[in-house]
Amino acid sequence: MLNMLRAESYRLIHSRSFWLSQLMLIILNWFYLFNAASFYITINSSKPVELLNPISGVDALQNSISSANFLNLFPLFLLVIGTDFTKGTLKNILVSDFSRKKIFYTKFLVFSIFAFLQLALLEITNLLIVTLRYGFGKMTMTFFSQHLLAFIHQWWLLIAIFSFAYLLLIISKSRVTTILLTLVLFLFLALATRITQNSFLTYFDFAGNIQLAAKNTNEKYLIAAGFIIVTSLLASRIFQKQNN
C-alpha cells in the first residue's frame, strides 16, 4: 500500500492540472479577501472615507474556515479519484498486483492528505498576503490552539462529505452526476436545517457545520466519523464486486 501511496502522490505532484488548480484557488481566494477587506464612500470629496477597517491577518485565518472549501476541494477530488474511475484509466492500475480494496483506500487516503495540505496552503497564503498589506492584527492567547482545532474539524467534516461523493462516483461512474448529487444533497441539508431548526438534521449538515467548526460538539464529529466509515465500507464493497 505504501508503494501505491507514493506512486499516487508522485503522479499528483507532477501533474500540471494539480498546480494550475492550486494557483487558481489561491488567486480567487485573494480576490475575495481584498474585495471584502474594506469599503469606501466619497462624500463631496475625491478622498474616500473608510467605513470599515481592513481585515487583518488574524481575520484572514478566521475567514479561511468556510463552507466554500466544500467547493474548493472538488478539483482535487476529481484529479485524485474522479479521472481514474470515469475515464477507464483504472484498468492500468488493476492489471498490477494491487487489490481493488487497496486501490480504493489508497486513493481515499491520498485525497485526504492532499485535502489537508491544500487547506493549509490556502490558510498560509491568505495569512501572508493579508498581513503584508494590512498587518497581523490582534489575537487572544488561545487563538492559535482554537484555530488549529477548528481547522482540523473543518477538514474532518469535508472528508465526510467527500466520502459520500466517493460512494456516488463508484456507483454512477460519472463525475457530473457525482458533483451535482453531492452539491444538491448537502446544500439541501444546509437549507433544511436552517428552515426547520431540526436538531437531528444538524448532525448531518456537514457543510453548514464547517462555519461553526470551533463551536461544534464532539457528537457531531463522532457522527461524521461514523458516516465516513459506513460510506467508505459500502463504496469499497461495491467497488470490489464490480468488473471494471
DSSP label at 54? P
* Cα separation, 213 vs 151, whole angstroms: 7
Residue 218 has pLDDT above 70, yes or no: yes
Contact 165, 182 (CB under 8 A): yes
* Cα separation, 38 vs 193, whole angstroms: 32
C-alpha 127 chain-centroid distance = 18
Domain spans, the chain: 2-241
* Cα separation, 184 vs 191, whole angstroms: 10
pLDDT, tens digit (0-9, with 9 covering 90-100), for 113-144: 999 999 999 999 988 888 888 888 888 888 88
pLDDT, tens digit (0-9, with 9 covering 90-100), for 1-51: 788 899 899 999 999 999 999 999 888 887 877 765 544 334 444 454 444
Alpha helix segments (H runs only) across the chain:
2-13, 16-36, 57-64, 69-72, 74-77, 83-86, 90-94, 100-134, 143-172, 175-196, 199-202, 206-210, 218-241
> What SS3 class is residue 186?
helix
By mean pLDDT, which of 8-12, 65-69, 240-244 is the weakest? 240-244
pLDDT, tens digit (0-9, with 9 covering 90-100), for 86-108: 766 676 666 667 788 999 999 99
pLDDT, tens digit (0-9, with 9 covering 90-100), for 224-236: 999 999 999 999 9
* Cα separation, 180 vs 183, whole angstroms: 5
